[in-house]
Structure formats: structure tokens, C-alpha cells
């Protein structure tokens, strides 16, 4: 795990679940069909688990979703994605022949409307791509150059320097805050290289300005609560499958559900033990692909 990943994910855990018990013991190595037999509901991460950059699909991703569908399992895509609307994510999944229905997609961006019920924002400076603006519309937040409170909503990674500079200017005011719609710190690419993403940018803004950060998405509990509420069976038969220890697995541990970590994407097999020790959270299982 890279140093910024460790520091930021540890901070998430301290914020979201300060009393979470440290993991003990090693996870079991299993094949996907073992999980298929033993669980009724599957929460699946998207990026790094099923797909990656430019429409890249990981081996057997389509077949695994089809197997879950044929076995009448409940499935949900639980994604820290806020740069594409749920409709667009659904379209992307259909183009990749990944069989999800729209109501089975729970994106961190769509939690902004829920978060804003308590925050009560009317406007904010928006730092993200055009496709993520729909989440602001749903939350009834207007994107403006001069927000009435020093608040920035961050969703994207392809940001112009002028936009970042304007955000820093706004956040240099007292009581500033950033609503972060994707807590991921790094994302894996098909080549194995990891790229810094929104959680990394949020931390940079905090270091530069001292702003407060509020998060939507994994590992924070709300996205899991919404997913679990949408499932009929009890949470004993639910498993989260993802590639990131600090979001997918940590979030599952906080939510009190089982998890399986897909190795070789965001976590190298050779670094697994160190990473588990570092964050103090462990999946129940590890998978070497589907
Ligand atoms: Mg992922």
C-alpha cells in the first residue's frame, strides 16, 4: 500500500468507526463458486473488480454476473463513482454486457441528495466533470462561481488547474468544507499502475486549506445501509466483493457484513498481510479473479 493510501484510509476508519475491532487471522483463499453457493446477496464493486479504464473488462466478469443472475441471487453494484450519472453507468454496464438493472446500481454520487438533507446546501462550487452535475441537481444544489458558504463539491479527477486554484481560494475562508463524492485514494488500471483519484485530491485540498471533508461512499456506512435496506434477506447472507481494502473491505467490516477481496488489482498478493496489518481490517476471503 502506498503511504498516502495508508494515511487516508486509516483516517477514514478512525472517523467512521473508531471502535472497530482489529482484524485477527488470515482470510481464506476461495474460488468464486464457493461464494456463489454460500451467499444469497452480492454487493459488487465496479472499477478494479469488474472493469477498468476504457471499457476494459476483467476475465470472467460477464460470466460471473450471469452466474449470479441464473442462481437468482440479489446483486447490487456499490460504486464510489460520481463522475457519471446512474443512467450513464447503467448504459456503460449494458455496453460491457454486464447484466445489471438500473435499480441495482447504488452510486456514491446519488448519496449527495441524502447528505444534503442534513447539510442543507443551496449552492456550492463544483469541481468535477459535466456528467456528475446531475447529482447536484438531484440534491437541489446549484453550481456557482461564488458560493454563499465556502463549500466545494468534488467528484472528478480530470480537473483544470484554474478550477483547482478557484477551489483553494474558496476553501481558504473560515469554516470551509468539501463534500467528496468518491473517497477512493488510488484506482488500479489494467496495466497494474495505480493512479491517484478523488480521495487523494480531497486530502490535498485539506492539507492546503484546512477545510473539513465530508464523504459520500465506501467505506462510510450510508452507502451500505442503503444497499442492505434494499435487500430482503438478512445481512448474514450478504457479501461485498471488491478490490480495495480501505473502501470495499473496510466498509463491509463497519457495516457488519462479510467481504471478499479481489487480489492483484489494488492490493498485491505479496502485500496483503502488510496491508491488513496496516489498516487493521481483513476480508473473510480472498479471490484470485472470478
Ligand atoms: Mg474498485
Q: What is the CATH number of the domain that holds 123?
A: 3.40.50.1000
Do 208 and 223 belong together in one domain? no
Distance 130 CA to ligand 1 centre (A): 22
Distance 162 CA to ligand 1 centre (A): 29
Do 137 and 102 belong together in one domain? no
Domain end call among 188, 215, 242: 215
Has residue 204 been placed in a domain? yes
Q: Which residues surround ligand 1, an ion (CB under 5 A)?
A: 45, 47-48, 243-244
Here the cell at position 80 is 464510489
Distance 265 CA to ligand 1 centre (A): 8
Distance 126 CA to ligand 1 centre (A): 24
Distance 184 CA to ligand 1 centre (A): 8
Distance 187 CA to ligand 1 centre (A): 7
Do 73 and 204 belong together in one domain? no
Q: Would you report the helix, strand and coil content of the chain in percent, each value rounded to 5?
A: 45, 20, 40
Q: Output the tens digit of pLDDT for each of the chain's 290 residues.
A: 999 999 999 999 999 999 998 887 789 999 999 999 999 999 999 999 999 988 899 999 999 999 999 999 999 999 998 888 999 999 999 999 999 999 999 999 999 999 999 999 999 999 998 989 999 999 999 999 999 999 999 998 889 999 999 999 999 999 999 999 999 999 888 887 889 999 999 999 999 999 999 999 999 999 999 999 888 666 669 999 999 999 999 999 999 999 999 999 999 999 999 999 999 999 999 999 99
Has residue 231 been placed in a domain? yes
Has residue 274 been placed in a domain? yes
Do 89 and 126 belong together in one domain? no
Has residue 257 been placed in a domain? yes
Do 148 and 210 belong together in one domain? yes
Has residue 143 been placed in a domain? yes
Domain end call among 215, 235, 256: 215
Do 59 and 183 belong together in one domain? no
Q: Residue 111, SS3?
A: helix
Backbone angles phi and psi of 97, in degrees to 5:
60, 40
Distance 241 CA to ligand 1 centre (A): 9
Domain count, the chain: 2
Distance 243 CA to ligand 1 centre (A): 5
Tell me the pLDDT tens digit for each residue of 189-236.
888 788 999 999 999 999 999 999 999 999 999 999 999 988 866 666
Has residue 21 been placed in a domain? no
Domain end call among 215, 230, 247: 215
Distance 244 CA to ligand 1 centre (A): 6
The H or E element that residue 261 is part of is strand 258-262
Do 273 and 231 belong together in one domain? yes
Has residue 154 been placed in a domain? yes
Distance 31 CA to ligand 1 centre (A): 19
Distances (CA, A) of 247 to 204, 240, 252, 254, 255: 19, 11, 8, 10, 12
Distances (CA, A) of 136 to 104, 109, 149, 223: 21, 9, 16, 17
Domain of 249, in residue numbers? 3-16+27-109+219-287
Do 118 and 90 belong together in one domain? no
Has residue 206 been placed in a domain? yes
Q: What is the distance between the alpha carbons of residues 142 and 126, in angstroms, rounded to a whole number?
A: 9
Do 76 and 8 belong together in one domain? yes
Amino acid at each position: 500500500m502506498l503511504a498516502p493510501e495508508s494515511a487516508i484510509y486509516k483516517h477514514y476508519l478512525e472517523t467512521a468507526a473508531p471502535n472497530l475491532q482489529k482484524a485477527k487471522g488470515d482470510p481464506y483463499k476461495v474460488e468464486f463458486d464457493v461464494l456463489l453457493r454460500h451467499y444469497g446477496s452480492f454487493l459488487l464493486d465496479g472499477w478494479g473488480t469488474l472493469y477498468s479504464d476504457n471499457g476494459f473488462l476483467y476475465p470472467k466478469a460477464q460470466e460471473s454476473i450471469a452466474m449470479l443472475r441464473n442462481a437468482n441471487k440479489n446483486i447490487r453494484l456499490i460504486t464510489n463513482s460520481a463522475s457519471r450519472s446512474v443512467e450513464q453507468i447503467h448504459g456503460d454496464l449494458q455496453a460491457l454486457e454486464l447484466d445489471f438493472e438500473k435499480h441495482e446500481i447504488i452510486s456514491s454520487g446519488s448519496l449527495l441528495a441524502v447528505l444534503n438533507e442534513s447539510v442543507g446546501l443551496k449552492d456550492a462550487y463544483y469541481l468535477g466533470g459535466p456528467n456528475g452535475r446531475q447529482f447536484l441537481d438531484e440534491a437541489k444544489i446549484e453550481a456557482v462561481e461564488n458560493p454563499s458558504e465556502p463549500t466545494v463539491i468534488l467528484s472528478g479527477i480530470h480537473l483544470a488547474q484554474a478550477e483547482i486554484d478557484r477551489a483553494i481560494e474558496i476553501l481558504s475562508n473560515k469554516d470551509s468544507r468539501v463534500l467528496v463524492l468518491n473517497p477512493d485514494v488510488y484506482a488500479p488500471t489494467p496495466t497494474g499502475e495505480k493512479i491517484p483519484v478523488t480521495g487523494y485530491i480531497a486530502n490535498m485540498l485539506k492539507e492546503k486549506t484546512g477545510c473539513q471533508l465530508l464523504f459520500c461512499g465506501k467505506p462510510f456506512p450510508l452507502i451500505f445501509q442503503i444497499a442492505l435496506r434494499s435487500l430482503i434477506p438478512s445481512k448474514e447472507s450478504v457479501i461485498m466483493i471488491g478490490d480495495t481494502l480501505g473502501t470495499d473491505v473496510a466498509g463491509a467490516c463497519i457495516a457488519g457484513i462479510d467481504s471478499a477481496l479481489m487480489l492483484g488489482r489494488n492490493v498485491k498478493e505479496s502485500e496483503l498481510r502488510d496491508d491488513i496489518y496496516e489498516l487493521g481490517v481483513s476480508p473473510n476471503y480472498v479471490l484470485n479473479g472470478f
